[in-house]
A and B are shown apart, each in its own frame.
Chain A
């Protein structure tokens, strides 16, 4: 058995016998790691949804100076006029009805889309069928995350915002907006949402441009086209649109990142202080080990190994908890009809575990150094 293995085995033994201390330390590291990983996933989700990327081709056409789906009303006939503009590849009129316009974790967003437009988009379904939905006036294709949150399957019924639908399929998509919506026939939603006969009214148009380089140019052309019309528009790239609508959530996410960093630093401080105290408490034990012939390096290795074990176990446990929690909860922050969901990037969990391991080592670096430097005679005199 190699010398290092011996030290690690010693650290393991001593950690096992000090069960309460070990459980408390590992638990603390796990919770901190879980918190940090969750915040990082949310932050990544916010960036995904709100940062304009090269290659973006999606524009959202909204009613000018309106920010809530209840208030944005555009004539459906605009779709043909938009489609005629140069650079436009596709236009889908969308009617949005939400159960709650304010920031909330459990909003049901209905998106009414023309049947033939949805067919043309060839959506991915995790369950159910597009044909069943097409032939079903009050059918809905429910986004995967919304389905998980509400426990919906094919055949379930869903009621929200005074609208009843039957689930015909579960929708899989790269777009968090779609993963968190229930897609219905446009006509159905227009009829249900009609107040005083406003059929033919939609909330927004989802426009796809043919060339990402022309995104801004097409947006300007659309707004120019309807400037003098009864319903002027404001057109933005989808990410900018989400960033605008979800600005409170974005600010909140930034704030929670700060709190998260603070919590991680505080937890590290506690861990380091605890390790210093634990090691000081064990100075007699280390003096005995040194008398038996353990070297300075050997003592340091024992102290560091305990920190590393606490960090590694706590980190893996915390990353696992965060992964389980986030993937089970189907968390989505929705406001003004747009959703932001955390991105569970494996690299975040690997990084979080690695950081916990490094934190464990760092927290024990100073005690490991002092434990190995102390004069043996003084320790023994102090001991007896």
Chain B
């Protein structure tokens, strides 16, 4: 079975008494170890889908299985626990905690795991090294450049060794050079660790870095293309 199975997945929002079908009977499978780019016009439901996959939001109907778990069956707290074990989430605007240093930001998700202090330290250092920021561990977010902030955010998403790495326009706010650095990092994670990645992007060049591109249109699957 695939790592992610969406079957007839629907998400509606009510707007002035009228239901808006943001995701409309979506069927989609994502294999373990795959690298998927999610594209589509603005408002087509990309972020909504990513939020459902991350267990941040709930589907209106349909089925969503991630690694065999039916997310609809989990309550709020179980879902939170599930996220802490299985999901690494990278935002467009980094979302580092401003009052915590780079090191502390990366350590944050590990506080929810039952680890010794030494093991936690080892993992944080390793994650910071993997994004090439070991020397910046004591810096606060405002003392880092946008590209560096995003790399810290990626280290924070990876440090728990999640089943699934989800990224919503991770390069949307970065210049070319920084975007390339982030994409190189994703490529390496995918190749070397077999990390499953689902990434939303508006940029065709960025999307070509992935193995395949899934296109949404008005909440429906428009096309699935394998990269050449």
The reply to whether B111 and A291 form a contact with Cβ atoms under 8 Å apart is no
Which A residues touch B35, using CB under 8 A?
none
- A384 to B47 Cα, complex, angstroms: 11
Q: A232-262: contact bitstring with B at CB < 8 Å (1 yes, 0 no)?
A: 0000000000000000000000000000000
Among A10, A18, A297, A384, contact of B111 (Cβ-Cβ < 8 Å): A10
The reply to whether B97 and A288 form a contact with Cβ atoms under 8 Å apart is yes
In addition to A289-B108, A293-B84, 7 A-B residue pairs with Cβ atoms within 8 Å of each other are A13-B99, A13-B104, A17-B100, A289-B97, A298-B80, A380-B91, A383-B95
Which B residues touch A294, using CB under 8 A?
80, 84, 112
Residues of B within 8 A of A (CB): 51, 54, 56-57, 76-77, 80-85, 87, 89, 91-93, 95-100, 104, 108-109, 111-112, 117, 140, 156
- Considering only residues 109-149 of chain A, those with a C-beta below 8 Å from chain B are none
Cβ-based interface call for A296 (8 A): yes
The reply to whether B97 and A376 form a contact with Cβ atoms under 8 Å apart is no
Which A residues touch B56, using CB under 8 A?
291, 376-377, 380
| Interface size bracket, A side | 20 to 34
The reply to whether A14 and B99 form a contact with Cβ atoms under 8 Å apart is yes
- A289 to B99 Cα, complex, angstroms: 13
Cβ-based interface call for A6 (8 A): yes
List the A residue with the shortest CB-CB distance to B82.
A293
List the B residue with the shortest CB-CB distance to A375.
B57
Q: A266-299: contact bitstring with B at CB < 8 Å (1 yes, 0 no)?
A: 0000000000000000001101111111111110
The reply to whether A18 and B109 form a contact with Cβ atoms under 8 Å apart is no
The reply to whether A377 and B57 form a contact with Cβ atoms under 8 Å apart is yes
Considering the complex of A and B, which 5 residue pairs feature the smallest CB-CB distances, nearest first?
A293-B84, A17-B99, A293-B83, A295-B80, A377-B57
Which of A6, A297, A298, A380 has the largest count of B CB atoms less than 10 A from its CB? A380
CB distance from B54 to the nearest CB of A (A): 7
The reply to whether A293 and B112 form a contact with Cβ atoms under 8 Å apart is yes
CB distance from B75 to the nearest CB of A (A): 10
- Considering only residues 155-214 of chain A, those with a C-beta below 8 Å from chain B are none
Given A13-B99, A296-B76, A383-B95, A291 and B54 contact (CB-CB distance below 8 Å): yes
- Considering only residues 12-34 of chain A, those with a C-beta below 8 Å from chain B are 13-14, 17-18
Which B residues touch A17, using CB under 8 A?
99-100, 140
Which A residues touch B54, using CB under 8 A?
291
10 contacts between A and B (CB under 8 A): A6-B111, A288-B95, A290-B80, A291-B56, A293-B81, A294-B112, A295-B81, A296-B77, A380-B51, A383-B93
- A10 to B82 Cα, complex, angstroms: 21
- A294 to B79 Cα, complex, angstroms: 10
The reply to whether A292 and B84 form a contact with Cβ atoms under 8 Å apart is yes
CB distance from B192 to the nearest CB of A (A): 24
Cβ-based interface call for A1 (8 A): yes
Residues of A within 8 A of B (CB): 1, 3, 6, 10, 13-14, 17-18, 284-285, 287-298, 376-377, 380, 383-384
Which A residues touch B112, using CB under 8 A?
3, 6, 292-294, 298
List the A residue with the shortest CB-CB distance to B84.
A293
The reply to whether A291 and B89 form a contact with Cβ atoms under 8 Å apart is yes
Which B residues touch A18, using CB under 8 A?
99
- A298 to B84 Cα, complex, angstroms: 13
Which of A284, A290, A291, A294 has the largest count of B CB atoms less than 10 A from its CB? A291
- A17 to B104 Cα, complex, angstroms: 12
- A255 to B29 Cα, complex, angstroms: 74
CB distance from B38 to the nearest CB of A (A): 16
The reply to whether A293 and B80 form a contact with Cβ atoms under 8 Å apart is yes
CB distance from B124 to the nearest CB of A (A): 14
Among B77, B92, B100, contact of A295 (Cβ-Cβ < 8 Å): B77
Which A residues touch B100, using CB under 8 A?
13-14, 17
- A292 to B98 Cα, complex, angstroms: 15
The reply to whether A384 and B81 form a contact with Cβ atoms under 8 Å apart is no
CB distance from A285 to the nearest CB of B (A): 5
List the B residue with the shortest CB-CB distance to A286.
B97
CB distance from A3 to the nearest CB of B (A): 8
List the A residue with the shortest CB-CB distance to B98.
A285
- A284 to B77 Cα, complex, angstroms: 19
The reply to whether A291 and B83 form a contact with Cβ atoms under 8 Å apart is yes
List the A residue with the shortest CB-CB distance to B58.
A377
- A298 to B92 Cα, complex, angstroms: 25
The reply to whether B109 and A285 form a contact with Cβ atoms under 8 Å apart is no
Among A10, A288, A293, contact of B85 (Cβ-Cβ < 8 Å): A293
CB distance from B165 to the nearest CB of A (A): 13
List the A residue with the shortest CB-CB distance to B115.
A1
Which B residues touch A296, using CB under 8 A?
76-77, 80
Which B residues touch A383, using CB under 8 A?
91, 93, 95
CB distance from A295 to the nearest CB of B (A): 4
- A295 to B83 Cα, complex, angstroms: 10
- A108 to B96 Cα, complex, angstroms: 65
- A3 to B115 Cα, complex, angstroms: 11
- A296 to B98 Cα, complex, angstroms: 21
- A284 to B93 Cα, complex, angstroms: 11
Which A residues touch B92, using CB under 8 A?
384
